[in-house]
Amino acid sequence: MRLDKFLKVSRLIKRRTVANEACDAGRVTINEKPAKASANVKVGDVIEIGFGAKSVKVEVLDVQETTKKDDAKELYKYL
């Protein structure tokens, strides 16, 4: 699954366009490497997103095309 779509489906970022812009600005990394919005996300990847002064680091537990709001937190775990 594309990185920008995963960020939206997992609700780490609310809109796909915002996820795309964050990737273009270099604020998103996968396994310590800068990632483009089209990068492939798989189970076990570690994604870090920079939000201003703080950053969020998560590990991908599952990849699904769609999910309900309540189940979105099961797609990743905070590190």
Q: What is the CATH number of the domain that holds 47?
A: 3.10.290.10
28: containing domain: 3-78
pLDDT tens for 52-66 read 899 999 999 999 998
pLDDT at 60: 96
C-alpha to C-alpha distance for 74 and 61, rounded to whole angstroms? 7
C-alpha to C-alpha distance for 37 and 47, rounded to whole angstroms? 12
Name the domain count of the chain.
Answer: 1
Half-sphere exposure (Cβ direction) of 77: Cα atoms closer than 13 Å: 5
Q: Per-residue pLDDT averaged across 62-73, rounded? A: 90
pTM of the model: 0.92
pLDDT tens for 23-34 read 999 999 999 999
